[in-house]
Structure formats: C-alpha cells, structure tokens
Amino acid sequence: MEETRVAVVIEDEEDIRSLLSAVLSQAGFDVHGAANGSEGLDLVLEHQPLVTTLDVNMPGMDGFETAKRIRAVSSTYIVMLSARTEEIDALQGLEAGADDYVAKPFRPRELRARIDAMLRRPRHHVAATTTADESARQDAAWLEHHGLRLNVHTRIVTVDDADTDLTRSEFDILADLLAAGRRVRAKSDLALMLRGEQHTGIEFVTDSDSRAIEVHVANLRRKLGESPAQPRWIETVRGVGYRLTA
C-alpha cells in the first residue's frame, strides 16, 4: 500500500489556508492546517509532513523564524508564501531553509506545478539492513573531493570525517557540482536542477533564480567552513557559475 502523503499548511488567513488545503488535498495529500507558527511547528513535529507551506507575515513568530525552527527538526519541503515580493524577502526565506518562495496572490495551478517539481527531486532513506549488492551500490555512490565526501543514496555529507548537515537544496547543488567535476555548472543549470527540469533552450531563469543559487552556495560554503577567497572545494567562475577546485 502506498504511504499516505502528508502536508501541513501554516497560514493565519482562514480563506487562504482553506485554498491551500484544497490544492494539496486535490494533489493527494492528507492536510493539516495551523493559524500560526507555533501551532504549525507542533503539527510538523507530530505528522512529519512531506510538504509544508508557510506564510511569512503571521502574528507572533513570523515565517522566517518558523522556517528556521522547522528546518532544525524536519526535512520537509518548505514552500514560503508572501505578498512581500522584494528580492531580499525571497533570499531571506531561502536562507531560513525554504525550498521555494511563492508570491501572493498565487495561482493554484502554478503552486501545484512547483510542488510537483520539488517532489521530483529524490528523497532517500537509509535502510536498516542491506544486501551485498546494495552495499556495493552505496559504496559506489560516494563522491569525494579534498576530504569532502557525499553519498547520493544516503544523503550523508562529511568533511574530514565529520558529519555536516545541509538543506535539501544545498545537498543537491553540492552533489551536482561533485558529479560535474571541473566542468562549469552555470547558475541557470543549477536553478533548473533544483526545479527538476533539464535544459531544452526554452526555459526561463530569472535574476532572482540566479541570486537564489548564490545564496544557497554562500550558505553551503559557510556550513562546509570554506572561504570564498581561498576555496577548498567550490570555485566561482565569475559571471557564469561554479565548478570544483583543481
């Protein structure tokens, strides 16, 4: 039997909360709603949802602080929604741990499409026991560079044998760069990768998408303990994107 997909909607406006719940229910989710960040955090802890939508402007604990607290205890996909459309607000949301930032008013079909794109990105779980073949496959899944190790199946990252906690977006960007080696990965390529899309020549990547990649990479470097001026792992190719150091 297929596992029930759970979603949590954290939104103080009842009509928008009802709309979001309807969109997610139609997508096959069992939806739980909360009117503020504190209640929402409790629901995330209780139900461990696959997806959480989160309003930015809420009384008491705002969406940015709620996202940080959720990210500390859950790997749920976080979609932040806000009428605040300034780029700095979107970047603050991503820095808080959100996977996507959607401006209000939103179109239900677009929101559904963006959630579907996020769900195409892999979610891996470590099995309690493994066969010999599975062990060999997991060994082959390790990517390494200058003391940095990443396993694409277990989603484990270590730096000099010390575990490092990354958000889903940070992990996916790092895995992509490690797989590419010295090939340059443009910011647009990384943005499409996070959206679950491939380059066909007709996609539209905004300046905000590229800036979001810069924020993710900056957060990734901070967590790895890397200096952008003297990078150990990720080299910036000015005006283009990123690649591994030599």
What residue has token string 């939508």? 53
- pLDDT of 85 reads 67
What phi and psi values does residue 145 have, to the nearest 5 degrees? -165, 115
Q: 77-82 and 100-103 as β-strands: parallel, antiparallel, unpaired?
A: parallel
pLDDT tens profile 176-225: 999 989 999 999 889 888 877 665 555 677 777 888 888 899 999 999 99
Q: Is the pLDDT of residue 235 over 50?
A: yes
For residue 1, pLDDT over 60 is answered with: no
The residues pairing with 144 across neighbouring beta strands, listed in sequence order, are 149
Distance (Å, rounded) from C-alpha 74 to C-alpha 165? 12
Residue by residue, DSSP assigns 71-122 as HHH---EEEEEES---HHHHHHHHHTT-SEEEESS--HHHHHHHHHHHHTS-
Region of 61 on the Ramachandran plot (φ > 0 left; ψ -120 to 50 alpha; else beta): beta
pLDDT recorded at residue 233: 96
Task: Dig out the tokens for 58 from the structure.
Answer: 């809420």
Give the CA count within 13 Å in the CB-facing half-sphere of 215. Answer: 23
Higher pLDDT pick, 111 / 52: 52
Per-residue pLDDT tens digits for 70-118: 988 888 999 999 887 677 777 788 888 888 888 888 889 888 888 888 7
Look at residues 165, 58, 88 and name the one whose alpha carbon lies nearest to residue 67.
58
The angle subtended at Cα 152 by Cα 163 and Cα 116, nearest 5°, is: 115
Closest CA to 84 of 95, 76, 75, 93: 93
Alpha carbon dihedral 158, 70, 191, 102, in 10-degree steps, equals 180
Q: What is the pLDDT of residue 193?
A: 84
| Collapsed DSSP state (helix, strand, coil) of residue 18 | helix
Helix (H, G, I), strand (E, B) or coil at 182: coil
Amino acid symbol at 241? G
Output the pLDDT for position 55: 93
Specify the pLDDT at position 125: 38
Chain segment 119-162, per-residue pLDDT in tens:
876 544 333 334 445 444 455 579 999 999 999 888 899 999 99
Where do the H-state alpha helices sit in the chain?
14-26, 37-47, 63-73, 87-95, 108-119, 132-140, 168-180, 187-194, 207-224
